[in-house]
Amino acid sequence: MTVFSMLVERYGDDATLHKGDETFAARIFLQPVMTRAQDRRFSQMTPLGERDRGRFYAFLSAGEWEELEYICHRGTEYTVLRMERYRVHGETSHLELLLEKREEEYDGGD
Protein backbone atom coordinates (compact mmCIF):
# COMPACT_ATOMS: atom_id res chain seq x y z
CA MET A 1 0.00 0.00 0.00
CA THR A 2 1.39 3.41 -0.97
CA VAL A 3 1.57 6.47 1.26
CA PHE A 4 -1.14 8.08 -0.84
CA SER A 5 -3.41 5.05 -0.42
CA MET A 6 -3.13 5.33 3.34
CA LEU A 7 -3.90 9.04 3.24
CA VAL A 8 -6.93 8.77 0.96
CA GLU A 9 -8.26 5.79 2.86
CA ARG A 10 -8.26 7.78 6.07
CA TYR A 11 -9.07 11.29 4.91
CA GLY A 12 -10.75 10.86 1.52
CA ASP A 13 -14.41 10.77 0.44
CA ASP A 14 -16.40 7.87 -0.93
CA ALA A 15 -17.03 7.93 -4.67
CA THR A 16 -18.29 5.61 -7.39
CA LEU A 17 -16.26 5.24 -10.58
CA HIS A 18 -18.03 4.39 -13.83
CA LYS A 19 -16.67 2.78 -16.98
CA GLY A 20 -19.32 1.50 -19.35
CA ASP A 21 -21.45 -0.91 -17.36
CA GLU A 22 -18.77 -1.40 -14.70
CA THR A 23 -18.74 0.48 -11.43
CA PHE A 24 -16.06 0.63 -8.77
CA ALA A 25 -16.12 1.98 -5.22
CA ALA A 26 -13.16 4.17 -4.31
CA ARG A 27 -11.94 6.83 -1.93
CA ILE A 28 -10.93 10.14 -3.50
CA PHE A 29 -9.78 13.64 -2.78
CA LEU A 30 -11.82 16.16 -4.78
CA GLN A 31 -10.93 19.81 -5.19
CA PRO A 32 -11.94 22.60 -7.58
CA VAL A 33 -9.44 23.99 -10.07
CA MET A 34 -9.02 27.64 -9.17
CA THR A 35 -7.31 30.19 -11.30
CA ARG A 36 -5.62 33.43 -10.33
CA ALA A 37 -7.12 35.24 -13.31
CA GLN A 38 -9.80 37.54 -11.95
CA ASP A 39 -11.77 37.66 -15.16
CA ARG A 40 -12.09 33.93 -15.62
CA ARG A 41 -15.63 32.93 -16.48
CA PHE A 42 -16.70 29.58 -15.09
CA SER A 43 -19.86 29.38 -17.15
CA GLN A 44 -20.37 29.87 -20.85
CA MET A 45 -23.58 30.65 -22.67
CA THR A 46 -24.05 28.47 -25.75
CA PRO A 47 -26.93 28.11 -28.24
CA LEU A 48 -27.88 24.90 -26.40
CA GLY A 49 -27.88 26.40 -22.90
CA GLU A 50 -25.46 27.57 -20.26
CA ARG A 51 -22.42 25.34 -19.90
CA ASP A 52 -20.63 24.99 -16.56
CA ARG A 53 -16.92 25.25 -17.36
CA GLY A 54 -15.72 24.77 -13.79
CA ARG A 55 -13.06 22.07 -13.51
CA PHE A 56 -12.11 19.78 -10.64
CA TYR A 57 -9.20 17.54 -9.69
CA ALA A 58 -9.73 14.12 -8.20
CA PHE A 59 -6.94 12.07 -6.66
CA LEU A 60 -7.37 8.37 -6.08
CA SER A 61 -5.35 5.21 -5.69
CA ALA A 62 -4.47 3.17 -8.74
CA GLY A 63 -6.75 0.19 -9.17
CA GLU A 64 -8.26 -2.05 -11.79
CA TRP A 65 -10.01 0.90 -13.35
CA GLU A 66 -8.74 2.36 -16.62
CA GLU A 67 -10.27 4.94 -18.98
CA LEU A 68 -13.02 5.94 -16.62
CA GLU A 69 -16.01 7.75 -18.13
CA TYR A 70 -17.40 9.53 -15.10
CA ILE A 71 -17.43 9.46 -11.32
CA CYS A 72 -20.20 10.12 -8.80
CA HIS A 73 -19.40 11.97 -5.60
CA ARG A 74 -22.05 12.95 -3.06
CA GLY A 75 -24.81 12.81 -5.66
CA THR A 76 -22.98 14.88 -8.26
CA GLU A 77 -21.65 13.29 -11.44
CA TYR A 78 -18.40 14.42 -13.04
CA THR A 79 -17.14 13.59 -16.52
CA VAL A 80 -13.52 12.45 -16.64
CA LEU A 81 -11.66 14.65 -19.11
CA ARG A 82 -8.17 13.34 -18.49
CA MET A 83 -6.41 10.77 -16.30
CA GLU A 84 -2.70 10.70 -15.48
CA ARG A 85 -0.55 8.43 -13.35
CA TYR A 86 1.85 9.79 -10.78
CA ARG A 87 4.87 7.62 -10.16
CA VAL A 88 7.13 7.65 -7.11
CA HIS A 89 10.32 5.61 -7.07
CA GLY A 90 9.23 3.89 -10.27
CA GLU A 91 5.87 2.80 -8.94
CA THR A 92 2.44 4.27 -9.48
CA SER A 93 1.59 6.32 -6.41
CA HIS A 94 -1.86 7.57 -7.43
CA LEU A 95 -4.02 8.77 -10.26
CA GLU A 96 -5.00 12.35 -11.00
CA LEU A 97 -8.24 13.01 -12.84
CA LEU A 98 -9.36 16.26 -14.43
CA LEU A 99 -13.14 16.52 -14.19
CA GLU A 100 -16.04 18.72 -15.11
CA LYS A 101 -19.63 18.42 -13.96
CA ARG A 102 -21.58 15.94 -16.04
CA GLU A 103 -24.57 17.40 -17.84
CA GLU A 104 -28.04 15.95 -17.52
CA GLU A 105 -28.76 13.58 -20.39
CA TYR A 106 -31.25 14.69 -23.03
CA ASP A 107 -32.33 12.49 -25.93
CA GLY A 108 -34.84 14.87 -27.47
CA GLY A 109 -37.94 13.45 -25.82
CA ASP A 110 -40.44 15.87 -24.24
Partner 1 sequence: MAEIDVVISGVCAALKAAGVPAAVTSFPFGGKKRHTKPIAAVSVKSGSAISSGFAEYLGEYLDVETGGYYELYGKRLELTVGIGIYSPPDEQHGAIACPKLFSDIAAAVTRLPAGLRVKEISCTETRFDEDVGLFLCEAELSCAAHLYARAEEEGEFLDFRLKGEVVN
Contact residue for partner 1 among 20, 47, 75, 90 (CB under 8 A): 47
Region binding partner 1 by CB under 8 A among candidate stretches 8-16, 26-34, 49-57, 60-68: 49-57
Q: Rule CB under 8 A: is residue 106 a binding residue for partner 1?
A: yes
**Closer CB to partner 1, 9 or 52, in the complex:** 52
**Closer CB to partner 1, 91 or 105, in the complex:** 105
65, containing H or E segment? none
Q: Residue 101 and residue 77: Cα distance in Å, rounded?
A: 6
Contact residue for partner 1 among 44, 67, 84, 90 (CB under 8 A): 44
Q: Rule CB under 8 A: is residue 1 a binding residue for partner 1?
A: no
* 42-76 per-residue burial string, b: 16 or more CB within 10 A, e: under 16: eeeeeeeeeeeeebbebbbbbeebeebebbebeee
Q: Give me the least distance between CB of 18 and partner 1, in Å please.
A: 14
Over the Cα atoms of the chain, what is R_g?
16
Q: Are strands 55-60 and 91-101 parallel, antiparallel or unpaired?
A: antiparallel
**Residue ranges that bind partner 1, judged by CB under 8 A:** 44-52, 102-109
